[in-house]
C-alpha cells in the first residue's frame, strides 16, 4: 500500500521524531502555524497502517487546520494487543504537553477515531490537561459490536465487511473486555470531554458507532457536531486526490478547528 500512496507537495516538510518513545512524524506545510498542533491517529482496525500510508492526507489536514501535525506510528495487533495502542498514544500526547503544546487538537479515523476518544477518557481520568478539540472520522467506538448499522448497512457499505469486525476486535482485545471504555469509548462516561466533531457516511456499517457516541456525549453536556454524509464510504476523506466530497469534508474539519482553536486563543 505504501508504494501506491502519493507523496505530499515539495513544500511540505516531514521529519521523523521520537515522541516520548513512540515513532512519529512531524508534518508541516506553508499554512502551518507554530501555535497550533494536531495529534493524528490513523485507522486500520488496530492491525495495519502507518504515517506513511496517510501521507497523501495528513498534509491536507495540516493545511486545512493551519497546524503542525504529529502522526504517530503506534504499535499494532495482534503482536501488540490492547492497551498497547492507547499506551503509545498517551505517551505521545504527554510528549506534546511537555513541549508546551498550544492550540492542541486530536484527530483520528476509524480505529484511530475510537482511539482518540479513548485517549480523551484516559487523559481526563489521569487528571491531565485535555486538548481543545477532537475530530472523529468514521470512528470505531464499540468493539462489542452492538450497533444496528452493522446489520442494516451490511449490503450498502462498499468498504467494510461486517463479518470481518469480530476477528479484528478479537486480535486487538486479546481477551480483554470489549466494553472496557479504554477499548470501546462508547461504554465510558464522556462528561467533561472537549468539543468534538464527528464525520460518518450514511451507508457505513460503523454509522451507529458515531451516532450513538455523539448522542451519549450530548447527554453528558459535551459540545458535539455530528455530520452524517449521504452515500459516502468509510473515511472517504482519504480519497481526497479523487473525490470532491473528501476535499470538502477536510475543509469542514479545518473550519471546525478554526472556530474552536480560534476561540481558545482569543480567551487565553
Give the residue numbers annotated as catalytic, written as ranges.
110, 204, 234
In the chain, where do the E strands start and end? 13-18, 23-28, 33-41, 67-72, 104-109, 133-137, 196-201, 224-229
- Return the bridge partners of 224, or none: 196
Measure the CA–CA gap between 170 and 47, rounded to whole angstroms: 11
Compute the distance between CA of residue 107 and CA of residue 118 in angstroms, rounded to an integer: 12
- Cβ-count burial of 159 within 10 angstroms (0-12 exposed, 13-18 middle, 19+ buried)? middle
Q: Which three cell numbers stand for residue 246?
A: 473528501
Cell readout for 265 is 486563543
> Is 238 in contact with 40 (CB distance < 8 Å)?
no
Amino acid at each position: 500500500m505504501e508504494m501506491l500512496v502519493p507523496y505530499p507537495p515539495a513544500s511540505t516538510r516531514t521529519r521523523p521524531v521520537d515522541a516520548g518513545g513512540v515513532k512519529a512524524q512531524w508534518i508541516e506545510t506553508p499554512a502551518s502555524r507554530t501555535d497550533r498542533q494536531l495529534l493524528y491517529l490513523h485507522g486500520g482496525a488496530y492491525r495495519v497502517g502507518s504515517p506513511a500510508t496517510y501521507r497523501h492526507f495528513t498534509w491536507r489536514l495540516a493545511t486545512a487546520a493551519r497546524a503542525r501535525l504529529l502522526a504517530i506510528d503506534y504499535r499494532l495487533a495482534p503482536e501488540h494487543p490492547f492497551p498497547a495502542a492507547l499506551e503509545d498514544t498517551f505517551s505521545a500526547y504527554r510528549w506534546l504537553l511537555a513541549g508546551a503544546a498550544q492550540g492542541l487538537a486530536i484527530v483520528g479515523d476509524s480505529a484511530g477515531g475510537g482511539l482518540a476518544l479513548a485517549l480523551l477518557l484516559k487523559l481526563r481520568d489521569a487528571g491531565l490537561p485535555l486538548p481543545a478539540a477532537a475530530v472523529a472520522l468514521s470512528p470505531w467506538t464499540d468493539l462489542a459490536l452492538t450497533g444496528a448499522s452493522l446489520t442494516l448497512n451490511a449490503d450498502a457499505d462498499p468498504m467494510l465487511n461486517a463479518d470481518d469486525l469480530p476477528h479484528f476486535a478479537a486480535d486487538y482485545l486479546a481477551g480483554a473486555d470489549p466494553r472496557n471504555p479504554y477499548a470501546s469509548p462508547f461504554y465510558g462516561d464522556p462528561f467533561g470531554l472537549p468539543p468534538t466533531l464527528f464525520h460518518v457516511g450514511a451507508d457505513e456499517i460503523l454509522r451507529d458507532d458515531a451516532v450513538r457516541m455523539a448522542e451519549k456525549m450530548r447527554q453528558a453536556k459535551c459540545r458535539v457536531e455530528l455530520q452524517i454524509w449521504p452515500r459516502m464510504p468509510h473515511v472517504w476523506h482519504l480519497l481526497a486526490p479523487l473525490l470532491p466530497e473528501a476535499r470538502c469534508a477536510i475543509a469542514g474539519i479545518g473550519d471546525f478547528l478554526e472556530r474552536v482553536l480560534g476561540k481558545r486563543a482569543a480567551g487565553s
